[in-house]
Amino acid sequence: MSAQPALQEPAASAEEARTVLIVDDEPSMRTALSETVRRMGYQVRGAIDGADAIEQVERVKPWLVVTDLKMPRINGLELVKALKQKAPNTFIILMTAYGTVETAVEAMKFGANDYILKPFSTDLLERVILNLQASTEPDGQDAPATLEARALLTQDPGMIRLLTTLEGVAASQATVLISGESGTGKELLARYIHARSPRAHRPFVALNCAALPDSLLESELFGHERGAFTGAIHKKLGKFEMAHTGTLFLDEISEMNLGLQAKLLRVLQEREVDRIGGREPVPVNIRVIATTNRSLYHEVTQGRFREDLFYRLNVFPVTVPPLRERPGDIPLLARHFLRSSAQRNGMPVPTLSERAIADLQQRAWKGNVRELENVMERAILVTTGNAVDTDHLMPGDGAVPVQPVETVETLVAPSAHGSLWEMERDLIFKTLARVNDNRTHAAKELGISIRTLRNKLREYRDLGHQVEADKP
C-alpha cells in the first residue's frame, strides 16, 4: 500500500473550484440541493437536465457536478460521458434510486466519482462533497506518511499498521466488529473497508441502532409489507434488502434489544430476511460491519447481548485507539478541520500556531476526533487574524484539558449527602439545561448513547408520577 494516494488535478482556479452545478429536472429537489451546497460555502448553479448542464459547463467550468440519473433529453449517464470529454477534471456525483444502482456503477466506470442512493440525508451529501474536496488537497507541511481515505486522515504508526491490515481483510467477506470510543471515526473505518472490498461499487447502507426506538428499528432493518401494521400504507424495503450485494453498517450494535438480536442472528446465519407481515423470506447477499463503543464481551457476561450473536459478529475484531493515544494525528486533523471549516464558511484559511498545537496535544479529548472538529470550527469563528492561537481554542468548552480526579468529582457531586442515583439525575438535568435540552449534545457530553439518555429520562418521569400518586 502506498503511503500517499494519487491526487486528482484540481480545477484551474479558486473561483472555479468553488462552483458546484446541480442538475435535476425537479425544481424542488434542485432548490433543496442548491441550498445545502450553498451553506457549505460553495457557489451554486442549477441546470434542468443534462443538455442544460453541458451548455453551462462550457461557460462556468464547475469544480463539481451533482446530477440526477433519470432526466429528459440527456440523462445522467450520458452527461457523465459528455463531461469526461469536455471537462475531464470535473468531479461528478450521481444521484440514483435503489433500483438503478447497476446504472450508477456503469456511470462510475465512465468517470463518475461517487453515487448516492435516494433518499439520502443532507449530511451524507455534505460528507461525500467534503471527501472529494479532501482528495484534491495535499497536506502541505504534514509528514509524508499520511494516509487519506475518504477523509480518514492519520500519520500515527499504529493506525497505519491497522489500515494496512484492513486492506487485506477488506478483500474477504469476513464480518468486521469495530470497537472504540465515540468520535474516533469508526464509521470512516467501515467506509475504508467497504471502499477496498470487491463490493466497493455496491451500496453502503448505514443504520444507527441507538437512534431509533425498538419498534421502528425492526421495520428499518427488515422492512415491512403493506398493511403489516397500522400506518403501513406502502411496502418498505429494510436496510438488509437495500444493502443487497453491498455492505450493511450497523452502528452502536450494543444498543439493540435481545429480541431484535435474535432476528439479526437468523439473518446472518440464513442469509435471508423476513419482512414484517411477509409470507416468505427474501434472500440477501451482504457483508456486515458493526461498531460498538462498549465491550460486547462484557455486555454478554451481563446478559445484555447474545453470546451466539457476539461470536457471529466478532469474526475480525478491530479496536480504534482514542485520539489522546495518537497525539501525532492532532496537528494533521486540526489543520484539516481548519481548512474545511474556513472554506465552508467562506473565510481565509488561518495557520495553526505552535502554542496552539502544544495546547491541543495536552487535552483529554473525551469526544475524540468529533470534538476536535467542533473546537476548530469554533476557532475559525473567533479568530480575527491570520493564525489560530491558544486564546482561540476556548478551553473548557468542548475540549476539556485533563483534570485531576478530585476536580472531576467536584463537578459530578452536587452534594455530599445525595445518593449516587440523585447525583446522576442532577448531572443529567444540568447537562440538558446547559445545552438547551438538546438530547444529542447532552448524550455526547455525558458519554452515553441517546437511547440510554431516553431511558434515564423515562425512569425519572415514571418515578415522578409515582411520587405524585403516593401523596396523601
pLDDT, tens digit, for every residue of 379-421?
888 887 788 888 888 754 444 444 433 333 333 333 333 455 6
CA distances from 302 to 12, 298, 451 (A): 59, 6, 18
Domain limits, the chain: 14-119, 147-319, 324-392, 406-470
Share of the chain above pLDDT 70, in %: 81
Q: What are phi and psi of 382, to 5 degrees?
A: -105, -10
Between CA 247 and CA 255, with CA 251 as vertex, the angle to 5 degrees is: 135
Give me the pLDDT at residue 237, please: 83
Contact 77, 103 (CB under 8 A): yes
Q: Mean pLDDT over all residues of the chain?
A: 79
Rounded to whole angstroms, how far apart are CA atoms 394 and 399? 8
In this prediction, residue 1 has a pLDDT band, given cuts at 50, 70 and 90, of: very low
Does 14-119 match 324-392 in CATH topology? Answer: no
Q: Using alpha carbons only, what angle is made at residue 395 by residues 341 and 211, rounded to the nearest 5 degrees?
A: 60
Band of residue 450 on the pLDDT scale cut at 50, 70, 90: confident
Range with lowest mean pLDDT among 129-133, 169-173, 310-314, 344-348 = 129-133
Indicate if the pLDDT at residue 472 is higher than 60.
no
Determine the Cα–Cα distance for residues 220 and 87; give it in Å rounded to an integer. Answer: 40
| Residues 396, 358: Cα–Cα separation, whole Å | 16
pLDDT at residue 13 greater than cutoff 70: no
Query: Per-residue pLDDT averaged across 266-289, rounded?
Result: 89
Q: Cell 433529453 appears where?
A: 73
CATH classification number, 14-119, choose in 3.30.479.30, 3.40.50.2020, 3.90.650.10, 3.40.50.2300: 3.40.50.2300
186 within 8 A of 291, measured Cβ to Cβ = yes
Q: CATH for 147-319?
A: 3.40.50.300
CA distances from 381 to 134, 346, 367 (A): 21, 11, 20
> For position 428, what pLDDT does the model report?
87
Per-residue pLDDT reduced to its tens digit, 35-88? 888 887 788 999 999 999 999 998 888 999 999 988 988 888 899 999 988 888
Which of the following CATH numbers is that of domain 406-470: 1.20.1260.10, 3.40.50.720, 1.10.10.60, 1.10.3720.10?
1.10.10.60
106-110, 133-137, 195-199, 253-257 — most confident range: 253-257
Q: How confident is the model at residue 262 (pLDDT cuts 50, 70, 90)?
A: very high
Average pLDDT over residues 416-431: 68
Q: Which CATH architecture has domain 324-392?
A: Orthogonal Bundle (1.10)
Strand order in the sheet with 176-179: 204-208, 247-251, 287-292, 176-179, 316-319
424 DSSP 8-state letter: H
pLDDT at 4: 34
